[in-house]
Amino acid sequence: MSESILKCENLCFSYEDELSLNNISLDIKRGSIAAILGRNGAGKSTLFLTLNGINIKDKGSVYFNDKLVEYNKKGIAEIRRNIGIVFQDPNDQLFSASVIKDVSFGALNLGLSQDEARKRAEKALKEVEMYDYMERPTHALSYGQKKRVAIAGVLVMEPELIILDEPTAGLDPMGANEILVLLKKINKEKGTTIIIATHEMDIVPLYCDYAYVLDKGSVVMQGSPEEIFCHADELRKYDLRLPRIAHLMEILKKYDNIAVDESIDTISKARRAIKELINGKSN
């Protein structure tokens, strides 16, 4: 499980003479869910577009499954097949007025037959629980439903790695949660590696195994969520914040002198710690 699926070394890309990605090095483990954090304009989207060859990198190397990715026509086609990107706004991604047609697009681009593509598209729609909406016109779907269809449109290509740009943006709490549960399920059942770009900090300790913090086109922090949230001040420097629970723990420790573990970042961990504190006192 710990072998790397995607590795970047010193990846650089400049956009109109402005350095947008500055020596990015990443190592994403197979089967993991990684988070890429950073304020707006930190270079998250640019990074993804550079990875799959839409932006042409200036220098640096990308390894997929320990194999150097050549950014020529064949290499780009292969990397795009292996890395699926779900864009932030599903309206940008869904180009067809028919749900099933849109989902089938990626499958047909893999060179599959019509029948095979239809089967795969139906399967992908079942996976995102949108099978019943197959015949509906795209514009009649809600935002959350469109997001699911967009995910299906990527799943249909059966990529080994899926990158999602702000998967929870614009969704209500319920919808956001459902999308994350869905991603976790895909990750577990199919072993698909997932990268989530977000600035929604509360989801990071719940769903992610590893996190990178991007700022001004460079990786400025990396580590497991606990490790990153131990450095609250550094995070704030990059306009990010702690998960609410971790913030609470920080305040309890700093101002109320309660001995809580600062690495606590989820509700369940906090619950356990509080129970221990209470029980410890009563004993």
Q: Which residues contact another protein by CB under 8 A?
A: 49, 52, 54, 77, 80-81, 83-85, 87, 89, 91-98, 100-102, 104-106, 108-110, 114, 117-118, 121, 137-140, 153-154, 157
**At which residue do the structure tokens 């710690």 appear?**
273
Pick between residue 138 and residue 187 the one whose CB is nearest to another protein.
138
Cβ contacts of 126-130, under 8 Å, gap ≥ 24: 127/152, 127/155, 127/186, 128/152, 128/155, 128/182, 129/182, 130/99
Pick between residue 62 and residue 83 the one whose CB is nearest to another protein.
83
Task: Give me the least distance between CB of 169 and another protein, in Å please.
Answer: 14
What does each C-alpha distance from 76 to 52, 54, 68 come to in angstroms?
7, 9, 12
Task: Give me the least distance between CB of 154 and another protein, in Å please.
Answer: 7
The set of residues, in sequence order, having a beta carbon less than 8 Å from that of 127 and lying 6+ positions away, is 152, 155, 186
Pick between residue 146 and residue 205 the one whose CB is nearest to another protein.
146
Pick between residue 106 and residue 217 the one whose CB is nearest to another protein.
106
Pick between residue 54 and residue 68 the one whose CB is nearest to another protein.
54
Contact 108, 121 (CB under 8 A): no
Task: Give me the least distance between CB of 158 and another protein, in Å please.
Answer: 12
Pick between residue 80 and residue 199 the one whose CB is nearest to another protein.
80
Pick between residue 73 and residue 281 the one whose CB is nearest to another protein.
73
How far apart CA 267 and CA 74 sit, in angstroms, is 47
Task: Give me the least distance between CB of 135 and another protein, in Å please.
Answer: 8
Task: Give me the least distance between CB of 275 and another protein, in Å please.
Answer: 47
| DSSP secondary structure code for residue 137 in this structure | B
Task: Give me the least distance between CB of 88 and another protein, in Å please.
Answer: 9
Radius of gyration in angstroms for the set of CA atoms belonging to the chain, rounded to a whole number: 20
Q: Which helix (H) or strand (E) holds 225?
A: helix 225-229
Task: Give me the least distance between CB of 102 and another protein, in Å please.
Answer: 7
Strand partners, 222: 212
Amino acid at 175: G
Residue 256 CB coordination number (10 Å): 8
How far apart CA 274 and CA 147 sit, in angstroms, is 38
